[in-house]
Amino acid sequence: MNICVVGTGYVGLVTGAVFADLGNDVVCVDKLRAKIDSLKAGHMPIYEPGLEEMVARNVGDGRLTFTTDLPAGVRQSDVIFIAVGTPPRETGETDLSHVEAVAAEIGRTMDRYKVVVNKSTVPVGTGELVREVVARHQPAPIEFDVVSNPEFLREGSAIEDTLRPDRIVIGAPNQHAAMRLVELYAPLERPMIITDLPSAEVIKYASNAFLAAKISFINAIANICESAGADVTQVMKGMGLDNRIGSAFLQAGLGYGGSCFPKDVDSLIHTAGRLGYDFKLLKSVVEINRERAGRLVEMIRKVLGPMDDKTVAVLGLAFKPNTDDMREAKSVEVIQQLHGAGATVRAYDPVAADNAHPLLPEGVIYSASPYEAAQDADAVVLVTEWNEFKFLNLERLRSVLRRRAIFDGRNIWEPDRMRRLGFEYYSIGRKPVIPS
């Protein structure tokens, strides 16, 4: 099949590479010339495990190309995926200007029947909007269909998620359009659900909002555990073994960040409001999430006292492990607050330091290793649970610290082990370890 994917970000680039890998001819379009030039030169604009190899293989085999020429991409394709950004506005409403711009261009250049697929996360009703924009910009009426095919991949495991999704959602206005997508995805041999267009759009937001709610729920339980002397990790295990609940997204910590959950939850609250429903439950999910970084910093300040003569090593900057994405990363809030309180902050992340730099206060020192960050520091604050932190040489870490205090924002270490190693250890929803 000839496919055009518009937008070569996390979603578009991975989608394009995977479709090419399945044997399709794919042209990936982006409006950023620098991005396309660097992709043509074999450099990935994002860090995503396995992506570079997959792109190189398919470019080498002639199935995957990159261009800034959207009209050319549209003309040579039967199916066009819109995978551009849908950032939030101040109000929480979704900014659809990129989607609309692409839809207009598709309409202007469409020369025969096409299936236009919304892969970007867009509020319910956007499929209809895209239909209207495409039709309005056609020089002469040509038949086309708009399909919603929301994306559920997670950064850090995007290739794997795209190859083996739990389900593929296809919201189509008719069987013919639905079958084009079914045909395209058939080689993956994964469950597909075909719905009407608005239902597919709602499935995406409802899924993300539900997962965000699970995270905020367990964090609220963690708050209770802290006051009651209970252990949230044990509570989570006891809850998660219930098949009706499940353990996924039930880890207490600093809360959710990233390019999707915060904006998608805000967008659903906004959409609900527009449709006349006050989504109080989700408003609380947001509120609980907003408090997380502040609670951790408050704990640090209580333990360390005045911060202006303190040095703190922050481990992990990316919004989650295995990505260099800093959008809505909790590290930004934590570091801003520590810095604001007068602390000297030394930061380390395996891949996200360059992206973090413009977002963090001046004066933050970037270290080449966790041990360099912790050298003579008064505390270590774990913000992102990269695997390499789980396997840190804790004896070495202990030997370089001035004060052996660890604040674990993701509960990656066992309190008993930290006690044996002689650390002061503070984590989320669990009793602190304070050496006698």
CA distance 386 to 408: 12
Nearer to ligand NAD, 52 or 372 (CB): 52
Nearer to ligand NAD, 75 or 98 (CB): 98
Q: Residue 171 forms beta bridges with which residues?
A: 148, 195
Query: Which H helix or E strand runs over 99?
Result: helix 97-109
Nearer to ligand NAD, 77 or 121 (CB): 121
Q: Residue 407 forms beta bridges with which residues?
A: 381, 426
Nearer to ligand NAD, 184 or 392 (CB): 184
Q: Which residue is nearest to ligand NAD (CB)?
A: 9
Catalytically active residues are 260
Q: In what order do the strands lie in the sheet with 365-366?
A: 365-366, 344-348, 311-315, 379-382, 405-408, 424-426
Q: Residue 14 Cβ, how far from ligand NAD at the closest point, in Å? A: 8
Q: Is 328 left (phi over 0), alpha (psi -120 to 50) or beta?
A: left
Residue 247 burial (CB < 10 Å; 0-12/13-18/19+)? Answer: middle
Using the structure block, give the residue that is written with the tokens 């719905």: 195
Cβ distance 93 to 264 under 8 Å? no
Helices (H), 249-279: 261-274
Nearer to ligand NAD, 12 or 350 (CB): 12
Angle at 267 between CA 264 and CA 272, to 5 degrees: 125
Q: Residue 24 Cβ, how far from ligand NAD at the closest point, in Å? A: 19
Q: Residue 7 Cβ, how far from ligand NAD at the closest point, in Å? A: 3
Nearer to ligand NAD, 121 or 271 (CB): 121
Nearer to ligand NAD, 265 or 297 (CB): 265
Q: How far is CA 429 from CA 90, 215, 408, in A?
A: 32, 13, 11
Nearer to ligand NAD, 48 or 378 (CB): 48
Q: How far is CA 210 from CA 204, 329, 330, in A?
A: 10, 20, 20
CA distance 101 to 129: 12
Which two structure tokens, joined as six digits, stand for 19? 């479709």
- 3-state secondary structure at position 364: coil
Q: What are the residues binding ligand NAD (CB under 6 A)?
A: 6-12, 29-32, 35, 70, 83-86, 98, 101-102, 120-121, 151, 153, 155, 259-260
CA distance 84 to 102: 8
Q: Residue 87 Cβ, how far from ligand NAD at the closest point, in Å? A: 8
Which two structure tokens, joined as six digits, stand for 164? 């083996």
Angle at 43 between CA 41 and CA 45, to 5 degrees: 130
Q: Residue 113 Cβ, how far from ligand NAD at the closest point, in Å? A: 22
Interstrand relation of 144-148 and 64-67 (parallel, antiparallel or unpaired):
unpaired
Beta-sheet strands, E only, within 44-124: 64-67, 79-82, 114-118
Q: Residue 209 Cβ, how far from ligand NAD at the closest point, in Å? A: 13
Q: Residue 270 Cβ, how far from ligand NAD at the closest point, in Å? A: 14
Q: Residue 6 Cβ, how far from ligand NAD at the closest point, in Å? A: 5
